[in-house]
Amino acid sequence: MAEKGKLYLIPSPLGENDPSEVIPLPVLKSLEGFRTFVVEEVRTARRYLSKAGLKGKIDGLEFFELNEHTEAATVESYLKLFNDGNDVALISEAGLPAVADPGAQLVALAHRHGIEVIPAVGPSSLMMSLMASGLNGQSFAFCGYIPAKTDERKSKLKLLEKVSGQLKQTQIIIETPYRNDSLFKDMLSTCSPSTRLCIAANITMPDAYIKTKTIAQWKKEVITIGKRPCVFLILA
């Protein structure tokens, strides 16, 4: 059987930081060893690699997109990228690849075919928000995106709050940036006054905002989150 390459999971900055500020130097150095990249968006990936020190070498690299619009058959076709011992780097738009990210499909493909998967160290908005929240870091659940429609979203929030109270478990939620403020508003109108809510926006950026208050306290200090990347954490 022909030797297969390995799949490396390469983190990227959460914002417009210089990569050297948030990505370990050995990880950045390792980028020089790859010829093949599977990325969420080619333009963003090329910009990241250019900032990471590969400027002038990018035209000699090959890029394959994997995003929410990529068909399953296309993902399967990426198996050939590992032929002849060729190593492949997976990069997402921001943070850790394959976590709340379509790149998980490529990781699953690799495991199905016995391809070694090697994760690299880098920033995670989920873990960084949890560690900065003061909420329960021993028991927590990542809930991803919740429904966009108001009635469905409020029902989901009530359920997550109930689970949080029963298990004493932090619930971690993310949202499309343009719906941040509507989610925040629904949290204030739905959750119990004593439930704690952490808002963690623009993590690792100079204007990062991370605060934890009870719902009752937030109602006295309503803020505008805007379209900043944000993580919401609740603990009942």
Checking if the pLDDT of 2 tops 80, the result is no
Checking if the pLDDT of 69 tops 60, the result is yes
If you average pLDDT over every residue of the chain, what do you get? 95
Are both 7-119 and 125-235 of the same fold? no
Average pLDDT score over residue span 36-65: 93
Q: For residue 94, give the nearest of 29, 47, 145, 25 by alpha carbon.
A: 47
Say what the pTM is.
0.91
Checking if the pLDDT of 176 tops 60, the result is yes
Q: Give the pLDDT score at 16.
A: 87
pLDDT cut 90: percent of the chain above it: 93
Q: Which of 50-54, 71-75, 140-144 has the lowest mean pLDDT?
A: 50-54
Q: For residue 8, give the nearest of 126, 125, 122 by alpha carbon.
A: 122
Residue identified by tokens 């439930």 is 195
User: Could you confirm whether domain 7-119 is CATH 1.20.120.160?
Assistant: no
Average pLDDT score over residue span 122-150: 96
pLDDT, one tens digit per residue, over 75-93 is 999 999 999 999 999 999 9
Helices 150-167/180-190 angle, 10° precision: 60
Q: Give the pLDDT score at 177.
A: 93
Checking if the pLDDT of 1 tops 60, the result is no
Average pLDDT score over residue span 57-81: 95
Q: Could you tell me the fold of the domain covering 125-235?
A: 3.30.950
pLDDT, one tens digit per residue, over 188-232 is 999 999 999 999 999 999 999 999 999 999 999 979 999 999 999
Which tokens sit at 150?
């108001």
Q: Give the pLDDT score at 144.
A: 92
Domain residue extents for the chain: 7-119, 125-235
User: Between the CA of residue 11 and those of 71, 85, 98, what are the distances in Å?
Assistant: 23, 22, 10
Average pLDDT score over residue span 32-45: 95
pLDDT cut 70: percent of the chain above it: 100
Average pLDDT score over residue span 120-146: 96
